Amino acid sequence: MTQKQEMKEAIQSVIKLMMERVMNTVLVEDPFVKEEHKAKRPLYAALVPDEIFKGSHFERRFVTPFGGAWEKLAIVAANKGLGFGEKGRAITGKVNAERLRRIQEVLNNLEHGEKGKKRIRPDWNNELKYILEGKSAKLIPVTVITDVYAEDKKNNKKYAFELKAPLPNSDQTKVSKEKMLKLYSMEPLQVDGAYYALPYNPFGKRENYSWTFPARWFDMKNDEVVLIGNEFWEKIGGLGTYKAFIEAVNEIGPDYKNRIYREFLGVEPPPEKIEEGKL
């Protein structure tokens, strides 16, 4: 079995486990009960077919657990690709006091700007250059807990990833940027690279990414520390990782679609719908 085949099967294992939990939730633990829906929302039930709300019931119980699956999938990619991956690694190093002050200055300027002036646009390279120019004899211990930590065993490189949902909010993006700036400010450096990563791009191409909240903190189209979709998967798992991920999902997708149609919706799956939506 090739390395990429092993990776594909490991990815499928994570997704299958999550999907089985979702199916158990919507079929056993928390099914859609038509009578309860009508009792709680009589006006909605009178105007809108039950099937619409049944679909929403499933969606809510699917989206939340899948948010936590991205980190697990990233760990699989790192373990099978680069050689090692870990969730929630605490990285400790020392940062001089002036660099820490400048980090807060940069973040404050991005958040509030200067009165009477246009809001400052994020520019990672210039911001980091300014921060690293900060000098102080006072070194302060700093610990950063990164979402995903990976080691490239072949090339002896260490990476930290702030992995967020494709449509992240502003607050969590600010926290991620602060963590990344601290990692790049450590003396000596504890990682070879730190990145803000999104598992896929709901807008298609990177130049079309237009979710405004993270754009307050990063230039989502140009900052080199921002990785979106295939850029992230290839970085954490090596070349071919994104293809393995796509193949893994596409192979098991039809089986779960069939089950959802039959077991949850209670209808026979339309043949033309089963192949729709492949990545």
- pLDDT tens, 91-102? 999 999 999 999
Cβ-count burial of 163 within 10 angstroms (0-12 exposed, 13-18 middle, 19+ buried)? Answer: buried
Please tell me which of 112-116, 214-218, 246-250 the model is most confident about, judged by mean pLDDT.
214-218
Across the chain, what does the average pLDDT equal?
93
pLDDT of residue 118: 78
Question: Nearest to residue 146, comparing CAs of 65, 75, 67, 52?
Answer: 75
List the structure tokens of 141: 């211990």
Chain length of the chain: 279
Question: Nearest to residue 121, comparing CAs of 110, 129, 112?
Answer: 110
Q: Note the pLDDT tens digit of each residue in 45-60.
A: 899 999 999 999 999 9
List the structure tokens of 135: 């000098």
274 CB contacts (<8 Å, ≥6 apart)?
254, 257, 258
* Distance separating alpha carbons of residues 252 and 97, to the nearest angstrom: 51
Contact indicator for 154, 197 with CB cutoff of 8 Å: no
Contact indicator for 200, 156 with CB cutoff of 8 Å: no
Q: Note the pLDDT tens digit of each residue in 120-156.
A: 899 999 999 999 999 999 999 999 999 999 999 999 9
List the structure tokens of 98: 């002036």
> What are the sequence ranges of the domains in the chain?
1-68+252-279, 82-237
- Whole-structure pTM value: 0.89
Strands of 139-152's sheet in order across: 83-96, 139-152, 157-163, 193-198, 226-228
How far is CA 200 from each of CA 119, 233, 255, 278, rounded to the nearest angstrom?
28, 9, 23, 14
Q: Note the pLDDT tens digit of each residue in 166-223.
A: 999 999 999 999 999 999 999 999 999 999 999 999 999 999 999 999 999 999 999 9
Here the contacts of 57-65 (C-beta below 8 Å, separation 24 or greater) are 57/26, 57/32, 58/26, 58/32, 58/260, 58/264, 61/22, 61/25, 61/26, 61/30, 62/22, 65/18, 65/21, 65/22
221 CB contacts (<8 Å, ≥6 apart)?
206, 207, 209
Select 82-237's CATH number: 3.30.160, 2.60.120, 1.10.10, 3.40.1560: 3.40.1560
